[in-house]
């Protein structure tokens, strides 16, 4: 629809300013400016100086259809010309949001009934927590409000979402987690190979019994944990967890902000693991983040209670001005159409298996690599100071952050996570040549890092 002009306004890669940067060092940012990305196409980005990078992370696990998809941009522009915005309060609606609701429900597990739109994974997790509390108030169980999630999980940064998150960086100095929030261990097949599914279910059961089952409302989990280190559960994990939850009348919430809409080779992680959560939280991949949009999927167990008591409920007193934003909804429809028409869900599954093999063969034997793991088209490489003892690097060394910086010098964008895990989640349509480029550049990055760490005396046993 529109000609694309790649001329950029300035030739800068670093620009000083007063933007308060998310998840960036306050200290470092006081001295340095923002690093500017100017342009993107397919799986590549170019910075302000014209340097090219391959994006092995789909930005933050989200640009799943790749950059430069004119179908999405045109759909947004068309919607903007017709109706850029009108609110959805007081029963108002818009066509793309209603069409997207139908589309989401047609792809989701069969027990999903309703969709609530917001604009980020964080607000969607907060909405979900509030719906869980609402449900138990309506059921006459006002004391059943505690929420259990897992250490290392990431559910975002808003009040409830930040409390559910199990990472100290999100809690520190923000007075989180709040009183109703509890955490159990995340499965880690590399560091705790002896633990099986039942041991995690037993840990959860013990916490529920300690707190009193009549006070516990829901358990939250990412099907494959992303930011916590690309952690996949052991066989039978969700079945074992679900049977504990069912015994105590506790809801299961899947946070599918990363896994929703294809990342695991199925439309939802719930289908991949063959479990039926009561609520599903989604965002990122819904629009491939061409526009901000989140969607909470409400299952029949919860919806039926709200529906049965509609007289008493009156107004559902929750919603954002931007809820069901028509331009974001148009982006979501166009994005899901691309995923469906190009068979990208199946492609993500196949590409994930291929990428894991390539990554293992490129770096699996590298002296810095303790573990290479994957779930669908998400992969993680855990870096260690000594392979045989799986000794981690001291946290202050910031090894994964240094690897991220070194990778940029090789023309590669990766995600650096806590516990020195480097994560990969390329766009679903990344081809084999580009996958090879990613693994080659990553191997070259690790070689450079190895030399640095060795000369600094940080490698045990070398
Ligand atoms: N939940 C999960 C599983 C996520 O990975 C993220 C972001 O990475 C969020 C929630 C928060 O999403 P947002 O950053 O859009 O608030």
- Give the residue among 111, 23, 97, 6 at the shortest CA–CA distance from 60: 23
| Confidence label for 11 from pLDDT (cuts 50, 70 and 90) | low
In eight-state DSSP terms, residue 211 is H
- Give the residue among 314, 372, 324, 296 at the shortest CA–CA distance from 123: 296
pLDDT greater than 70 at residue 6: no
Cα–Cα distance for residue pair 277/255, rounded to 1 Å: 10
In eight-state DSSP terms, residue 90 is G
Coil/strand/helix, residue 380: strand
Cα–Cα distance for residue pair 404/209, rounded to 1 Å: 43
pLDDT greater than 90 at residue 30: no
pLDDT greater than 70 at residue 35: yes
In contact, 462 and 454? CB cutoff 8 Å: yes
| Confidence label for 186 from pLDDT (cuts 50, 70 and 90) | very high
Q: What is the pLDDT of residue 10?
A: 54
Q: What is the pLDDT of residue 14?
A: 83
Cα–Cα distance for residue pair 122/162, rounded to 1 Å: 8
pLDDT greater than 50 at residue 419: yes
Diameter over CA atoms, the chain: 71
In contact, 85 and 327? CB cutoff 8 Å: yes
Q: What is the pLDDT of residue 16?
A: 86
pLDDT greater than 60 at residue 9: no
Distance 119 CA to ligand 1 centre (A): 11
Task: Give the pLDDT confidence of 235-250 residue by residue, as tens digits.
Answer: 999 999 999 999 999 9
Span 190-200, mean pLDDT? 97
Span 194-221, mean pLDDT? 98
Span 256-271, mean pLDDT? 98
> How are beta strands 37-41 and 415-417 bridged, if at all?
unpaired
pLDDT greater than 60 at residue 167: yes
Residues in the chain: 462
Which numbered atom of ligand 1 lies nearest the CA of 121?
12
Q: Which protein residue's CA is at the shortest distance from atom 12 of ligand 1?
A: 121
Six-digit token pair at 55? 């994006």
Cα–Cα distance for residue pair 170/191, rounded to 1 Å: 23
Span 323-331, mean pLDDT? 99
Cα–Cα distance for residue pair 345/394, rounded to 1 Å: 39
In contact, 15 and 36? CB cutoff 8 Å: yes
Which residues are near ligand 1 (CB < 6 Å)?
60, 120-122, 125, 154-156, 222, 226-227, 255, 257-258, 283
Q: What is the pLDDT of residue 462?
A: 52
Q: What is the pLDDT of residue 89?
A: 98
Q: What is the pLDDT of residue 208?
A: 99
DSSP string spanning 230-273?
SBPPPTTHHHHHHHHHHHTT-EEEEE-TTTTTTTTSSSSHHHHH
Span 398-427, mean pLDDT? 97
Q: Which protein residue's CA is at the shortest distance from atom 1 of ligand 1?
A: 155
In contact, 292 and 56? CB cutoff 8 Å: no
In eight-state DSSP terms, residue 341 is H
Which of 220, 253, 284, 286 to mutate for ligand 1's pocket (most ligand atoms within 8 Å of CB)? 284
- Give the residue among 63, 72, 25, 73 at the shortest CA–CA distance from 42: 63
Distance of CA 22 to the CA centre of its chain: 16
Q: What is the pLDDT of residue 1?
A: 47
User: Within a 10 A sphere around the Cβ of 365, how many other Cβ atoms?
Assistant: 10
């Amino acid at each position: 629809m529109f000609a694309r002009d790649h001329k950029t306004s300035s030739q800068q890669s670093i620009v000083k300013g007063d933007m308060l940067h998310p998840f960036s060092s306050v200290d470092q940012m006081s001295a340095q400016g923002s690093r500017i990305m100017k342009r993107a196409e397919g799986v590549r980005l170019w910075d302000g100086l014209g340097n090219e990078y391959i994006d092995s992370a789909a930005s933050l696990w989200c640009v799943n259809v790749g950059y430069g998809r004119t179908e999405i941009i045109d759909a947004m522009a068309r919607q903007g010309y017709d109706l850029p915005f009108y609110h959805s309060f007081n029963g108002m609606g818009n066509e793309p949001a209603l069409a997207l609701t139908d589309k989401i429900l047609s792809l989701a597990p069969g027990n999903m009934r309703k969709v609530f739109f917001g604009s980020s994974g964080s607000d969607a997790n907060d909405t979900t927590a509030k719906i869980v509390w609402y449900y138990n108030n309506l059921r006459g169980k006002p004391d059943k409000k505690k929420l259990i999630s897992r250490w290392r999980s990431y559910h975002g940064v808003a009040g409830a979402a930040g409390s559910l998150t199990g990472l100290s960086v999100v809690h520190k100095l923000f007075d989180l987690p709040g009183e109703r929030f509890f955490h159990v261990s995340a499965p880690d097949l590399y560091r705790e190979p002896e633990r099986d599914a039942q041991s995690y279910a037993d840990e959860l059961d013990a916490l529920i019994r300690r707190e009193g089952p009549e006070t516990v409302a829901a358990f939250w989990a990412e099907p494959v944990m992303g930011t916590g280190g690309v952690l996949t559960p052991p066989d039978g994990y969700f079945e074992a967890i679900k049977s504990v939850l069912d015994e105590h009348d506790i809801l299961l919430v899947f946070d599918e902000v990363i896994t929703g809409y294809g990342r695991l080779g199925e439309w939802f992680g719930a289908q991949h693991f063959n479990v039926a959560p009561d609520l599903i939280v989604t965002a990122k991949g819904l629009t491939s983040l061409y526009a901000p949009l989140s969607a909470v999927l409400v299952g029949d167990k919860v919806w039926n209670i709200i529906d049965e008591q509609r007289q008493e409920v009156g107004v559902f007193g929750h919603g954002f001005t931007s809820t069901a934003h028509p331009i974001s909804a148009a982006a979501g429809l166009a994005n899901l159409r691309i995923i469906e028409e190009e068979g990208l869900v199946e492609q993500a599954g196949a590409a994930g298996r291929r990428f894991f093999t390539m990554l293992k063969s490129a770096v699996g034997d590298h002296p810095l690599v303790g573990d290479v793991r994957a779930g669908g088209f998400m992969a993680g490489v855990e870096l260690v100071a000594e392979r045989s003892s799986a000794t981690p690097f001291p946290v202050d060394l910031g090894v994964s952050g240094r690897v991220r910086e070194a990778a940029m010098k090789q023309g590669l964008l990766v995600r650096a996570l806590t516990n020195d895990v480097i994560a990969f989640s390329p766009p679903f349509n990344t081809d084999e040549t580009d996958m090879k480029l990613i693994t080659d550049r990553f191997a070259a990055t690790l070689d450079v890092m190895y030399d640095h760490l060795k000369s600094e005396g940080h490698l045990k046993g070398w």
